[in-house]
Chain A
Amino acid sequence: MGELVAEKRLRYILSIEKKKDSFESVVMEHLRMNGAYWGLTTLDLLGKLDTVDVDEVVSWIISCHHHDGGFAGNVGHDPHILYTLSAVQVLALFNKLHLIDADKVTNYIVSLQNEDGSFSGDIWGEVDTRFSYIAICCLSILRRLDRINVENAVKYIISCKNMDGGFGCTPGGESHAGQIFCCVGALAITGSLDLVDKDLLGWWLCERQVKSGGLNGRPEKLPDVCYSWWVLSSLIMIDRVHWISKG
């Protein structure tokens, strides 16, 4: 990627942070923790993480930490599993995990696991396989995966496997590339990929590539660049990415 393009991308990412009262900024205000993750990891990929004031970011993240161990999307917001993962990921990116009480964060996540092995997003109870991935990914970073009921977590994810080999948000939910990424990711981390029909799923994922070369998330839907991520990383995890046409 050319220097000029990388520079432009860096400036865009940093500008979103600065323009605190722009429309984009205000409607994303509650999910700034996610934005921080995507923005900072992008900067890292561009080799420009040193342009960021680490102390400022870290102290802001800590200010989003709640007593129950969860992290909020921004200051003054309630904790949620989504932002807890992003917070932990960003702290890990900066090697600052030692600044938080990992057991407390773990307890928060453990408290969100339901009897059937699924995970809720927060105390209000929304269930989705996205949260299964988030819980497992987060605890894996904190090296405390054994604190949840991994067997039940896996069992629940597998109950969301469909006859096309894909996964949905809940049992019976339509296979969707984003949900597949989450389920396959969770199964990968827990060492349970043997439960995935890799050939069948791999083919389903390959069929997401349309004539233009782009990737969609479900049959007969339009391609979108975000699906390139969900589909390709899923294929990589099940070791079938060589099936995709790179051209």
Chain B
Amino acid sequence: MAGKIEDESNDRVPLRLRPEWSDVTPIPQNNGPNPVVPINYSEEFSEVMDYFRAVYFANELSSRALSLTAEAISLNAGNYTVWHFRRSLLESLKVDLHVEREFVERVASGNSKNYQIWHHRRWVAEKLGLEARNSELEFTKKILSIDAKHYHAWSHRQWVLQTLGGWEDELNYCSELLAEDIFNNSAWNQRYFVITRSPFLGGIKAMRESEVLYTIEAIISYPENESSWRYLRGLYKDEATLYVNDTQVSSVCLKILRTKSNYLFVLSTLLDLICLGYQPNEDFRDAIEALRTSDNEEQDSDIARTICSILEQVDPIRVNYWVWRKSRLPQAA
């Protein structure tokens, strides 16, 4: 929900008392009789919006109208009609958009989860073109330093990279964020975005080797990290055979299995690998055997079935899914 920017209600002069507005007849909202207004705040809001309606319907593209939109936005930054009109005003008055950018930054500080603000920011950046690149990257970085998973900020950042460039440091930036929080799914997503789309990196095939190393290190540190496992799989996108045959993948699985802790994603990965044709050796069988907790569980020669059984036990929230996975396995020979 939009927040209100700090306003000095006590110092504020009502519009009806400002000489520069004396020629305007405010237009009240036309939706029935207004009840008695006990809250000072909404009196201010009603007045600002009444005057806004007057200039909006008159299509008055003046600087006082521009100031008024700023007031209206400070009271409710979610009001998209006010933003629309502001854009018309900015175009018509040929306002310096660098100044506008600062305005948006101030508004954003209290309302960063607001679609209108981000869209307006993008509109300004589009108009400014290439010269806006660094400031936009800096702006999103600032927002992300407060909330590293901020969806709008990431979306805006991706748009900036694709439209205005600045790819060179992006992979490093992802690494920085992941060093702060290896569980940041947005940063992993951005990493994938960079390696697949950056014009400087050569695409996923060129990056696979180094990225596999990076990801495996991350997995070893925190095997319970969903994002890293998905990223690893993503590195082999349409090349399942490579994924199955890469000994680095099977090695890290075995390594973590042997620790007997945080092995949920290892097991699901192993299950996927087996379904893709991987044939686990004796080491794997031993490691998985060591995880079986209950003697009541029937021993299953089929390692995939055993994995499903273990997952049903250790990931009970998703028991239905693991039961289904087991049912889809080819019957043991």
- Interface residues of chain A, those whose CB is within 8 Å of chain B, are 20-23, 26-31, 60, 72-73, 75-78, 80, 122, 124-126, 162-164, 168-170, 172-176, 202-203, 206-207, 209, 211, 213, 218-221, 242-245
Contacts and interface: CB of A to CB of B under 8 A. Distances in A.
Of A122, A203, A209, the most chain B CB neighbours within 10 A belong to A203
30 contacts: A21-B46, A22-B39, A22-B42, A23-B41, A26-B42, A27-B76, A27-B78, A30-B78, A60-B31, A72-B81, A73-B81, A75-B29, A77-B79, A126-B119, A169-B155, A170-B159, A172-B193, A173-B189, A174-B151, A174-B185, A174-B189, A206-B318, A206-B321, A207-B318, A218-B186, A219-B183, A220-B227, A221-B149, A245-B317, A245-B320
B173 to A, nearest CB: 15
Interface in B62-105: 75-76, 78-81, 84, 87
B58 interface: no
- Ranked nearest first, the 6 interchain pairs of A and B with the lowest CB-CB distance are A163-B234, A174-B189, A77-B81, A243-B321, A219-B185, A21-B42
A72 B317 CA distance: 43
A168 B41 CA distance: 38
Nearest to B265: A207
B226 A20 contact: no
Contacts of B154: 173-174
A211 B84 contact: no
Contact of A163 (B76, B149, B230): B230
B185 A245 contact: no
Contacts of A242: 320, 324
A32 to B, nearest CB: 9
Contact of A26 (B45, B190, B192, B319): B45
Given A173-B155, A218-B149, A124 B123 contact: yes
B115 A126 contact: yes
A169 B193 CA distance: 14
Given A28-B1, A168-B155, A172-B158, 7 more contacts: A20-B34, A27-B2, A163-B233, A169-B155, A219-B226, A220-B185, A245-B317
B202 interface: no
B185 A30 contact: no
A interface, over-half SS:
loop
A243 B324 contact: yes
Contacts of A30: 76, 78-81
B230 A78 contact: no
B317 A162 contact: no
A71 to B, nearest CB: 13
Contacts of B196: 172
Contacts of B313: none
A158 B272 CA distance: 24
Contacts of A162: 189, 192
A80 B87 CA distance: 16
Contacts of B233: 163
Contacts of B9: none
Given A31-B78, A172-B158, A209-B317, A76 B29 contact: yes
A215 to B, nearest CB: 11
A164 B81 contact: no
A30 B185 CA distance: 33
A164 B319 contact: no
Contact of A170 (B2, B34, B158): B158
A126 B45 CA distance: 27
Contact of A164 (B56, B193, B230): B230
B326 interface: no
Contacts of A60: 31
B197 interface: yes
B1 A220 contact: no
B56 A76 contact: yes
Interface string B119-143: 1001100000000000000000000
Interface in B221-253: 226-227, 230, 233-234, 237
Contacts of B320: 242-245
Contact of A172 (B56, B57, B75, B197): B197
A72 B184 CA distance: 37
B115 A76 contact: no
Given A21-B39, A30-B79, A163 B151 contact: no
B16 interface: no
Chain B CB within 10 A, most for which of A20, A78, A172, A209:
A172
A29 B78 CA distance: 9
